[in-house]
Amino acid sequence: MHYESELREPLILGDKGYHEITEDVCRPIEGKANKYWWAAFTLASMALLWWIISVSYTLGTGLGVWGLNKTVGWAWDITNFVWWVGIGHAGTLISAILLLFRQKWRLSINRSAEAMTIFAVICAASFIVSHMGRPWVAYWPLPLPNQFGSLWVNFNSPLVWDVFAISTYFSVSLVFWYTGLIPDFAVVRDRAKTKGAKFWYTILSFGWTGTAKNWQRFEEVSLVLAGLSTPLVLSVHSVVSMDFATSLVPGWHTTIFPPYFVAGAIFSGFAMVQTLLIITRKVLNLENYITIYHIDMMNRIILITGSIVGVAYITEFFIAWYSGVEYEQYAFINRATGPYWWAYWSMMTCNVITPQLFWSAKLRTSLFATFFISIFVNIGMWFERFVIIVTSLHRDYVPSSWTMYSPTWVEVGIFIGSLGLFFVPFLLFTRFFPVIAMSELKTIVKSSSSQAKKKGAHHHEH
């Protein structure tokens, strides 16, 4: 009996040949920016300007220009920090874990997801520095040899672990991303028509010649970096969660935090990837590369991680009750029914209810629904961090110090400005860097013959 396995759906559509892929990916770099790009870039630059003004004002005057107080020592600053770090997670997950699991569909999206990671971590780091009272000594938490006597950092402090986690994460992600870019830069270099482009892409491509040896080393380095990155996906947000988990603030002091934070980070990261790619594929005409299939796959991940996050929320409540600890119980009752109930219920609605809509295949494959739900998830995950940080702190042990927190225009400015800090480099990235890993993508194109194409066409008829 002859059995022929069913041919898989192609991961990219439009019967693309190698040259077409190159043309498609290089088009944004070689052509002129359209008006949408300019509109977005103008908006992002304005936000960045606002960020610069707000941060400068903070640095010049003191953290008093924020709304923090004696009881609530962290609020929007660390909320934003965790939010951005979380967003960064999708990039690493896609490039490292999906690589190890040989999920080829990642190839259309990994480049931009990784770029998102880099820029998100920069945003996160900006909050670490700006939330310090004396940012001019921001290097002190690094274990550097110094002239201050025998002063060393406090290795017990989760903030020091954070410094290591974030800096490692940033450097590995950057190297991984850049390594992937090298062959693509070489392509751009080779096609460059202007002297300037030639010059810059020559430098960026590190003298890539495309020899077999080049490719062999490229593959090896990619694999090694994927191996390095994989534990980072789990460790970075685990460490971030320990900023809270190792404290004794009711609502923070929770052993569930590491897995819960990692799930939340992936959840929010994919939501952000969806938000960005749904726009990018449209603006840069990449619908054939970033297909509904990709959107669907990512929505499934959002559904799974969203459910994990939902279970974590409920578990926290259960454990608060089960522990019998008065303070812990109060912290959770206060979250849901206290003065910040609206933040809690925003979080629950956005993070627990909306992703469940993705059980419907129709919604999962709808660009419109995906875009809106991804925005909801982004908002919900911001509120999650706000709820954890502010509602736990504002009413902890001693009721005499209970108080409220509300942000000032400066904090709002820094947050909205940080979106500019993110989008300005991201938009530049879409103009100057190949947004799809074209060299790698070519490995999944059915290259052999018209036969394969025909088969594909045949298959489609069914």
Partner 1 sequence: MCPLPLLISDTTLHTDMEKKYWKGVEELRNDAEFVRLKNNEFFEHIPVDEVIGRKAESADATPRRDFLKFLGFGMAAATLAACEAPVKKALPYVVKPEEITPGIPNYYASTFSDGHDYASILVKTREGRPIKIDGNEMSSISKGATHARVQASVLGLYDNNRLRGPKAAGKDTDWATADKEIKAKLEAAVAKNGKIRILTATVVSPSTKALFAEFAAKYPGTEVVTYDAVSFSGTLKANEQSFGKAALPTYRFDNADVIVSVGADFLSNWINPTEHARQYAANRKLFGKKTMSRHYQFEATLSVTGSNADHRYKVKPGQYGSVVAALYNKVASLAGATSISAGNTSVDDGISKAARDLWNSKGRSVVVCGSNDPAVQVLINGINTLLGNYGSTVNIDMHSNLRQGSDEKMAALVAEMASGAVDVLFMYNVNPAYTYPDAAAFKAALKKVGTSVSFAGTEDESASEANYICPDHHYLESWNDAEPVKGMFSLGQPVIRPLFKTRQMQDSLIQWAGLPYQDYLTFIQGNWNKSMYGMQTAISSYDAFWTKSLQEGVFETAPAAGTTVFAGDVAAAASSIVKSKTDGLELVIYEKTGIGNGNQANNPWLQELPDPVSKVCWDNYFAMSPAFAKAQGFSQGNVIEVKAGNKTVKGPVYLQPGVADQTIAIAIGYGRTKAGKAADNIGVNAYELASMVNGTIHYYNTGITINKTVDEDHVLAATQTHHTMMGRAIVKETNLDKWLKDPKSGNPDVMLETYKGKKKATEMDLWATEKNPGHDKPNHFWGMSIDLNSCIGCGSCVVACQVENNVPVVGKDEINRSREMHWIRIDRYYTSDTTKESAEKDGLGKIDMLAKMEDPSENPEVVFQPMLCQHCNHAPCETVCPVAATTHSSEGLNMMAYNRCVGTRYCANNCPYKVRRYNWFKYSDNTQFDFNMNDDLGKMVLNPDVVVRSRGVMEKCSMCVQRIQYGKLEAKKAGRRPKDGEINTACAQSCPTNAITFGDYNDPASRLSAEAKDARAYHVLEELNVQPSIYYQTKVRNKDTGTKA
Please report, as ranges, the residues that interact with partner 1 according to CB under 8 A.
Answer: 61-64, 67-71, 73-74, 131-134, 137-138, 140-141, 148, 151-154, 156-160, 163, 243, 246-249, 324, 326-327, 329-330, 333-334, 337, 393, 395-404
Q: Which is nearer to partner 1, 353 or 404 (CB)?
A: 404
CB of 250 to partner 1, least distance (A): 9
Amino acid at the residue 67: G
d(CA 350, CA 357): 11
CB of 254 to partner 1, least distance (A): 14
Q: Which is nearer to partner 1, 132 or 363 (CB)?
A: 132
CB of 327 to partner 1, least distance (A): 8
Q: Which is nearer to partner 1, 243 or 440 (CB)?
A: 243
C-alpha dist (Å) from residue 374 to 259, 316, 431: 21, 25, 24
Q: Which is nearer to partner 1, 114 or 243 (CB)?
A: 243
CB of 247 to partner 1, least distance (A): 5
Residue 394 contacts residue 252 (beta carbons within 8 Å): no
DSSP state of 217: H
Q: Which is nearer to partner 1, 17 or 141 (CB)?
A: 141
d(CA 46, CA 420): 7
Q: Which is nearer to partner 1, 42 or 406 (CB)?
A: 406
Contacts of 230 (CB under 8 A, 6+ apart): 96, 97, 100
d(CA 34, CA 47): 20
**Residue 444: how many CB atoms within 10 A of its CB?**
14
CB of 161 to partner 1, least distance (A): 9
Q: Contacts from 446-453 at CB under 8 Å and sequence distance 24+?
A: 446/10, 447/17, 447/18, 453/15
Which conformational region is residue 149 in: left (phi greater than 0), alpha (psi within -120 to 50 degrees), or beta? left
Contacts of 447 (CB under 8 A, 6+ apart): 17, 18
CB of 332 to partner 1, least distance (A): 11
CB of 134 to partner 1, least distance (A): 4
CB of 34 to partner 1, least distance (A): 40
d(CA 129, CA 225): 28
**Residue 193: how many CB atoms within 10 A of its CB?**
7
Q: Which is nearer to partner 1, 348 or 379 (CB)?
A: 348
CB of 322 to partner 1, least distance (A): 12
- Which DSSP string do the residues of 225-280 spell out, in sequence order? HHHHHHHHHHHHHHHHHHHHHTS-STTT--TTHHHHHHHHHHHHHHHHHHHHHHHH
Cα 344-259-419 angle, rounded to 5 deg: 55
Q: Which is nearer to partner 1, 169 or 422 (CB)?
A: 169
Question: Which two structure tokens, joined as six digits, stand for 368?
Answer: 């419109």
d(CA 78, CA 128): 8
Q: Which is nearer to partner 1, 38 or 152 (CB)?
A: 152
